Chain A
Amino acid sequence: MNILGIELRRSAALGAGLITVVVGAGALYVATGRWSSGWMALAMTIREYLLLLWPLALAAGAWQGRREHRAKVGELFTTTARPRAQRMLPVLGAMALTLAVAYLLVTVAGIGWIASTARHLPLLNFAVVTGVGALSLIGAAWLGLGIGRMLPALVTAPALAVAGVLLIFLSVIRLPDWLAAAISPVHGTVPFHAYQTIDNRVSGALAISMAALAAAGLLLFVADGWRTRTAALVPVVLGLVVATAVVPRDEGVLNWPVDPVARELVCTDDAPTVCVSRVNANVLDALTPLAREGLTALAKLPDAPTAVHEDTRTLMSDDVSSPEDGIVRIPVRIDKSGGLAHPAAVVTEVVRGLGVGYDGQCQNRDDVVERAAAYWLLAREPQSDVGVIPGMIEESPEINVEAVALWRGLRELPEDEALDRVTAVRDALRLCTDVTGILSGTAR
């Protein structure tokens, strides 16, 4: 007779697992674009959804804890040979098992979506981030079991759910990063860049906190008096102390650290070279002809760039690209199916700066002039970035009107003269000097 099987059938564990799978997988598939880029994006997005799943596990545990209390089996079970702690193991085990399996099933549901497109698999990090997520659910459920048995009121489960949401939310926005990282299962999971990871020391600290919560829940659940219930504070305090001692204080490690291997470039074997990050390697084939089309347009310029690289800089990094290194850097975007997003924008993005990267410092960049010059190289009439460049939702109409006027002026010039002026703009951009009037020939 399988006791765990009996427990699974009679307790709320299966229901809790089912809710976890439905809510977790449902949330995942509502916005596949958030995690379709790769394995770590998937692992972190599921961790992020612990904002929902963690309070649910807490409430499910409390619900089961209340049921345990209401069953009034205490007297009958007390007269049996198994010690109290052992008697509680089936329900604790059933809850832990179903929630861990449910978390893994949500992960598997996501893997099914990305398996054919995702390339870079940092196995250890992926396993650790996923494992700590599952542990977080177990910690929540066991804590809920303990509290639900101690306070077996109807309101306990919903109150704990609300408290869980508030705890996670407030810990992220109100606590110092190092403390939030040590106690919040969603800290550091919001995606800011494609190479994002969670440092294993941060995962370790969180695992300690969650294991401590689980231990506290276990003590509360098996407690037969206030002495044991009070003792449940010990693992909480101990866990917090150890977790905060272990967690790193370096902001760069705590917040959206980069996985350097994911950011490494992988390139085409033949020239002109096109490179993307390892995490986006699956779109290299789709990107290459588009990037080369852009390079071909730029090749009209003397000393033109000869390669296109994915722009792997992140908001948090100090990397600055050199404007004169012969490489055009463009963002690579992944669509919700894991393929190349917005392919129509690639050629424009390669050409639009005339091959001169923006270093974030130069104040002499001019959208009108650059657009007119770029579209002259592309032999197309300029058009607004809105609808072409992803993320552009608004643009002053005058920009394109003026760009078209400049472009028409270039078109009326002899080819060599027009090319000289466009080249002069490119050279000015490289030097960060004023480009006003270069295309129209009015510059002094």
Chain B
Amino acid sequence: MMRAVSAAETAVTTHPWAVHAEGLRVRAGRHLAVDGLDLALLSGVHGLLGPNGAGKTTLIRALATVLNPAGGRLTLLGRPVDGRSDLRSVRRTLGYLPQHFGFYPRFTVREFVGYMAWLKEMPKAGVAAAVQRSIDRVGLTSKADARLKTLSGGMLRRAGIAQAIVNDPQLLLLDEPTVGLDPEQRLDFRDLLRDLGTDSCVLVSTHLVEDVVAACTDVLVLNEGRLVWQGTPEGLTTQGDQGDAGDSPAERGYSAVLRRHRAEAAQ
């Protein structure tokens, strides 16, 4: 049955790691998409890069508690995720934007975000203000009462981000959040990410290296289900040289990381 959630239950707590994985394995159907991943994330904005099929979405889905680990250990906000533990308290402080997110088309933006706040068991008293704040933060104030089915792809994506941040999550997982955003909106989104990363652990999966370099404090490169590189955006730019593919130092660094990993794997 439904019950009220006390403020203490949703209060921010401090964990040594927001995400801690050891030898994590996750299946996507029959395929082992994440295979022996070691990962430790603190607060900040972490950019997750990798080619198609690298396991980015599968990893994010596992961190979002959609998929259960097939092996290894995973701890989110200090709680183990093993398919048996109660994830309710973790989920209260989780924000998630799936790559393709479903929605009720007749919802307005405000209703959608408010509904998600209810699903996240936010204390009722603060919901209306939190909904308005999250809508304002993604720049949808003027569309707050528009139905989702009337929104453009970019606006819909922003509505998705608004629901993800409505509960001020300690762990925010965004899978391809900038798809459909125009250049100006992407710049605004980078500001939002930087803001969110000051108190929370934000993991952003994307193909856009420039976004990662501009907004993230930490870069993770995933390939074939394994973490093949982790460092700062500046560190990534130093990985490549003029011979590597890419239009910017960061893209060339990313290409170099993948090239080296593939070469090592081939040996």
Contact = CB atoms under 8 A, between A and B. Distances in A.
Nearest to B110: A1
Interface in A65-84: 71-83
A79 B115 contact: no
A380 interface: no
A11 B106 CA distance: 8
Contacts of A74: 102
Interface residues of B, number: 36
Interface residues of A, number: 22
A9 B107 CA distance: 8
B92 interface: yes
Contacts of A72: 100, 102
A1, A9, A11, most chain B CB atoms within 10 A? A1
Contacts, number: 77
B102 A82 contact: no
B164 to A, nearest CB: 9
Contact of A9 (B111, B117, B127): B111
A124 interface: no
A10 B119 contact: no
A323 B105 CA distance: 73
Given A6-B114, A81-B121, A82-B121, A75 B88 contact: no
Contacts of B91: 79-81
Contacts of A78: 65-66
A231 interface: no
B39 interface: no
A10 B98 contact: no
B92 A3 contact: no
Interface in B115-140: 115-121, 124, 127-128, 131
Contact of A79 (B5, B89, B96, B103): B96
B119 A1 contact: no
B2 to A, nearest CB: 6
B120 A10 contact: no
B65 A1 contact: no
B131 A1 contact: yes
The 9 closest A-B pairs by CB, nearest first: A72-B102, A80-B119, A1-B114, A10-B106, A73-B102, A81-B121, A81-B91, A81-B92, A79-B96
12 contacts: A1-B111, A1-B118, A6-B115, A72-B100, A76-B101, A79-B65, A79-B91, A80-B94, A81-B88, A82-B118, A86-B2, A87-B119
